[in-house]
Amino acid sequence: MALENPVYEDLMNGYDQNLDRSGIKGERLAKRLYELSKIGYTQIGGVRRPGLSDEEKEAKELVKQWMAEAGFSIIEDGAGNVIGRLEGKDNAAKAIASGSHLDSVPNGGNFDGPLGVLSALEVAEAWKETGYVPEKPYELIIFTDEEGSRFNSGLTGSRAMAGDITEEEIQQLRDYNGENLEQVLEHYGSSLGAFKKAKRDVSELELFVEVHIEQGKRLEQENQPVGIVSGIAGPAWLELEFTGEAGHAGNTPMIGRKDPLVAAAEFIHGIPDFPAQVSGTSVATIGKMEVFPNGINVIPEKVVLHADIRDIKEETRDKLLQQIKQYAEEVAGRRNVQLAIKQNTKIMPVPIEETLKRKLEESLNGLGIKPVHIPSGAGHDAMVLGRYIPVAMLFVRSKDGISHNPKEWSSLTDCVYGIHALKDFIENAMKD
């Protein structure tokens, strides 16, 4: 009988079976990616698993079953983060951790997040297959709501674990249904009190390493399956609300109108010119817009925009952030509309230690892979932990650089190369 979606068959097609060694099995990874792809499946081949949703919870419960079978002891904190632990030879030592997330953007792909979770799990499966006992404890962490599609404020789980969410932000958070965090948590099966208790002493971890798809084309250009992340850009998210006066589209003269959509359009048009004025690595994007009341024959009363501003250096990112705020104020003044700006997220960029990058190079060299160093423009849970402990990241080649899209794809061969690199890196780190 044909599968309802082709993820498993497409992954197995062309897979290099020679990579099935040292306890790692490509088919096991393919089956698990396929099983996850069915949760929140969309008819055009993507997935919809918002953070703290029924779909995200179902995906976590499935992976928790696999984790238990692999020998992990498992807890889930009040923020929805799943933490699995394997004991090592020296259980007094700090743990080395790996993982990622299972939530998605509204119509995302099957690799962003799940690949990192399943790669970390496959390392443990390989140890079980070969009877290997790690030198130190090993943790697999599934962070909740990394993408931010629930609250327009991402990295919720990792920031809760690190204690980086303020009381003010907790009170301000509203999801796409208008529900506050307390209501969302209660539906999920947690509570606001339990969420606040999710903070842990992350210094209990010696190191966190995350595998992720590249979300770019550098590895394709270099014809390499896996690369090394040289640094992680820090995202800052702004919510800009332009407010004018609603009116009848036919009876209101053009002169004297206070149209917030015209102001918003002018603002959006100017945004692409700003990043290059600051640095060669900064970016700015308007990815979401809401118009109220959104009627064809009504001059809008209010327009809400969401801006995503990033750079790998905090100084230049914040300079760009300030320039964009100032520009929004100038446009609002010219167009005679009101402007309110709210900052939903501001995460520090995270550099990767040189010693860790050298160790990743050694692991890639051992696999015959030329080390390619790539800055990450996307935010990751690793960057939150990276404020407190050393972190490292590996990128797996993305077909055409596509991500956050049903066409997102990494070959099974490339994915398994990533797992071999992760396993070697962790085992070497355990010896230090």
Q: Are 198 and 82 in contact (CB under 8 A)?
A: no
Spatial CA neighbour of 205 closest among 157, 146, 144, 139: 139
Which uninterrupted H or E stretch holds 339?
strand 338-346
3-state secondary structure of 151: coil
Amino acid at 17: Q
Q: Are 204 and 138 in contact (CB under 8 A)?
A: no
> Angle at the Cα of 79 (from 121 to 33), degrees rounded to 5?
30
Alpha-carbon distance of 412 to 418, in angstroms, equals 10
**Structure-block tokens of residue 274:** 């700003």
Q: Is 10 annotated as ligand-binding?
A: no
Q: Is 306 annotated as ligand-binding?
A: no
3-state secondary structure of 174: strand
**Structure-block tokens of residue 60:** 């976590």
Q: Are 258 and 335 in contact (CB under 8 A)?
A: yes
Q: Are 234 and 317 in contact (CB under 8 A)?
A: yes
Query: What torsion do the CA atoms of 277, 281, 282, 283 make, to the nearest 10 degrees?
Result: 110
Q: Is 420 annotated as ligand-binding?
A: no
Q: Are 102 and 36 in contact (CB under 8 A)?
A: yes
Question: Which residues, in sequence order, are bridge partners of residue 285?
Answer: 308
Q: Is 404 annotated as ligand-binding?
A: yes
Q: Are 63 and 121 in contact (CB under 8 A)?
A: yes
Q: Is 248 annotated as ligand-binding?
A: no
- Give 223: exposed, middle or buried? Use CB within 10 Å, 0-12, 13-18, 19+: exposed
Binding residues for Zn(2+): 101, 112, 147, 212, 404
Binding residues: 101, 112, 147, 212, 404
